[in-house]
Structure formats: C-alpha cells, structure tokens
Amino acid sequence: MSTNPSPARSAKKSIRLLSLGHACVDIYQGAVAALVPFFLSERAYSYAAASGIVLAASLLSSVAQPLFGALTDKWAMPWLLPVSTLTGGVGVALSGLSGSYAVTLAVVAVAGIGVAAYHPESARIARIASRGSHTAMGLFSLGGNIGFAAAPLMVSAVMATGGLRASPLLVVPALAGAALCVAALRTLSPPAAAAGTASAAARPAGKDDWPAFLKMSGAIVCRSIVFVGLSAFISLYARQRTGGGEFAGTAALFVLYLGGAIGTVAGGRLATRYGRITVVRWSYALTVPAVAGIVLTPGPLLYLFTALTSAGLYVPFSLHVTLGQDYLPRRVGTASGVTLGLTVSVGGLASPLIGAAADATSLQTALTPLIALPALGWLLLRTLHEPEMPETTTAAAPAPQRNTAAGSRP
C-alpha cells in the first residue's frame, strides 16, 4: 500500500503553506505604513515626507509587479518565492538604521521590489495547487490579509524594544516565510511547480477580455487609494478623533487590517452563493458609507466604521484575483501582477497628495475625498460580466472549477 500522499492532499498542504508564506510576505506591505508614526516621532518628518516613504515602497512595486507577471507568463520561476520574501524582509529591516531620508527611501524601495517579485509567481503556483478553487484561492489571499493585520502589532512590539534602531528584528518573518515557500514548493510535484512556459500550445483555451479586465482594474485602483490612504494615516487620525495615545492609533490600524481577514473568507463564500460580480459590486457600494463614517464620526465609533470599511474593501479581494485570471486566461501571470500588484500598490502614489493636503489643511479634510472613490469603483463595475470559462486547462494555468452559483448573474 503506497505511503505517498494523494495529489489532492498534497495540493491542500501546498495551499496552507503558501498561505502562511503569503502572510510573512505581506507583513512587509503593512509594516511600511505601521512605521510611519515612528518616523514622524523619532525623525520629525512632515506628513508629506512620511507618506513619501509609503510611496517609495509602492512606486517600484507598482511598476515591477506587471513586469514580473509578464515574465512568469513566459517562464516558471518558483525560486522567486523564497528569494523575494527575503528581499522584502531585509529592505524593511534596514529602514530604521540610517538617519538619511534618501537611504531610508532606497531600502524601503528594495522591500517593495521584493514584494512585487513575490505576488505574480505565488499566485500562479497557488492557482496550480488550488486547481481553480475559489475557496482555496481565498485561503491563499487570507494569508496575506493576516500578514497585513499582524504588521502593526509586530512593528509596535519591535519599536518598543529600542525604537527604529531595533528594526533589524523585523527580518524574522522573512526567514520563516522563505522556509515556508521552499516547503510549499516541495509538496508540489516538480512538473507542476515548474510548469509555466507560455508557448502557444501550453496556454489554456480561452479569449482574453481586455475591456472587462481594464474596467475591473480601474475599480481596484479606487479601492487601493482608499486602503493605502487609510493605512498611512488612520493611526494618526484615530489619535486625533478619539483623544487616545499611541495605542489608539495602533488599534485602529490593526482593526483595518484584521477586518480584511474576515472579509476575504466571507468573499469566497458569498461569491459561491450569489456570484462574484454581484458580491464585488455590493462590496464597493457598502464601502462608501463606511468610509464616510471613519472620516466624519468622532470617538470610539471610528473603530466600528474602520472594521466595516475593512470588510468592504477586502470581501472582493480574492475575487479580483480569480476574475482577473479568468478575464485573461492566456496571461495568468500578467493578470496576477496587475490585480495583486499594480492596481493594489498604485494607491501609494496618492499618499503624498493626501499628506500634502493634510499639511496644508487638516487630516480630516485630506481624507474626505476617499469617500467618493468606492462609488467610482462601483460605477466601473456596473457593466462587468462573469468571464467565459475555458473548456480546457493545463498544468500551467488550470481554469477555475465550474460553479453554477458563482458563474451565474443574479
């Protein structure tokens, strides 16, 4: 009797390991925003200067992720998972050591490149391991959201030991994440992990729907600006609106990130019942009053609206990924690089504008335009349809499993 695990069991183990590795990587996306209050307090940066650090992490990541996605459409590069994890961790770990603003920007930018290199290839590997399951891809996305949620707690704990000079301790999750990535790749069969050469014969059947993909990408940009803007400034804003200290700010950032974990799980289940497009549209619509509550409501109610905003922003998160891959079935790496990368991190490009507006007026005034962006995203989503599912698949990019509930339009 064979003692080798079944392919299904190996795939589930791979998804679990990939999800944990994803958590370790996305700690470094959340860590940059979590470090902003400490740069303000220890180095007396202005709002605009501090938001420039968020921009440094986002700018190269925004540009690089689609490029890495295009590369993974041509060649399989599973080795990128552990290497990029270490790169992201080392960049953030070095950010507190130099008093030079230029050096800080440079190492944070390196961290952004590491994060950029990770996501397209990891999404390709996760798609192989999940065999197109929305639930499995939701679990993979959940790992990243948990990493975001853990970031402010981890940063606060490390900063409490010695301020920014203790930042080298932040490399620990990267070491764990690299080991998890290696373990995940080993659980997949070598042909599956290495699959990905995008010859015409190897690509899955199906037609790329660029108009639908671009509309969805525009909506994700709106979501990204809201999320990154709140990530960069909600800690400071919570202190102002609640009259609390450092803990009040850390708690608000933690709620913003933690709600994402709940939203991602709910998103997959709701999509199975009501359809992906319907769930995504409603999420954007309900996010509008939730963001308004953050900006306009004083006191402890801010935390409630932060949780609602987080859920609204994250319910469609894994659905963006699977929809993007299904709209571009012949360019899964590119779709992953855009949905997980460019359109997500491009929100960082707006953070200096928010910071400059806050310096010129007030933080509340600077955050007020964020209320309108989910509504704009909803308008872009109004004409979207469920992607046509390809009839054949390959190991490089299996098509999502058919699901009449998720594939129909209510």
How far apart, in whole angstroms, are the C-alpha atoms of residue 387 and residue 147? 30
Taking only the tens place, the pLDDT of each residue in 214-248 is 999 999 999 989 988 898 889 889 988 887 777 88
In the chain, % helix, strand, coil (3-state, to 5) comes to 80, 0, 20
Question: What band does 191 get if pLDDT is binned at 50, 70 and 90?
Answer: low
Alpha helical stretches, state H, 243-300 = 246-274, 276-296
Alpha helical stretches, state H, 75-163 = 80-93, 101-130, 134-162
pLDDT of amino acid 402: 38
Instruction: Work out the mean pLDDT of the chain and round it to a whole number.
Output: 82
Taking only the tens place, the pLDDT of each residue in 307-321 is 999 999 989 988 898
Taking only the tens place, the pLDDT of each residue in 143-164 is 887 887 788 889 989 999 988 9
Q: Which long-range contacts (CB under 8 A, 24 or more apart) does 285-290 make?
A: 285/374, 285/375, 285/378, 286/312, 287/223, 287/226, 287/312, 287/313, 287/374, 288/371, 288/372, 288/374, 288/375, 288/378
Tokens (6 digits) for 30? 């959340």
Report residue 368 CA to chain centroid gap: 23
How far apart, in whole angstroms, are the C-alpha atoms of residue 320 and residue 275? 13
pLDDT of amino acid 258: 77
Taking only the tens place, the pLDDT of each residue in 338-393 is 887 666 666 767 778 888 898 899 999 999 999 999 999 999 999 898 887 654 44
Which sign, positive or negative, has the C-alpha torsion 41, 230, 154, 259?
A: positive
- Say yes or no to pLDDT of 193 above 60: no
Taking only the tens place, the pLDDT of each residue in 253-295 is 888 877 777 787 788 788 888 889 999 999 999 999 999 999 9
pTM above 0.75, yes or no: no
Domain positions in the chain are 7-407
Tokens 């509309």 -> residue: 215
Tokens (6 digits) for 86? 């270490």
Tokens (6 digits) for 269? 């289940």
Cβ 341 vs Cβ 182: under 8 Å: no
How far apart, in whole angstroms, are the C-alpha atoms of residue 191 and residue 202? 13
The CATH code that applies to domain 7-407 is 1.20.1250.20
Which 8-state DSSP code applies to residue 368? G
Query: Is 65 or 10 the better-scoring residue by pLDDT?
Result: 65
Tokens (6 digits) for 174? 């990267």
- Say yes or no to pLDDT of 125 above 60: yes
- 29 burial (CB, 10 Å; 0-12 / 13-18 / 19+) is buried
The residue type at 139: L
* Phi, psi dihedral angles at 403 (to 5 degrees): -145, 110
How far apart, in whole angstroms, are the C-alpha atoms of residue 217 and residue 230? 20
Average pLDDT over residues 204-222: 87
Q: Which residues does 406 contact at the CB level (< 8 Å), separation at least 6?
A: 134, 271, 272, 275, 276, 386
Gyration radius (Cα) of the chain, Å: 20
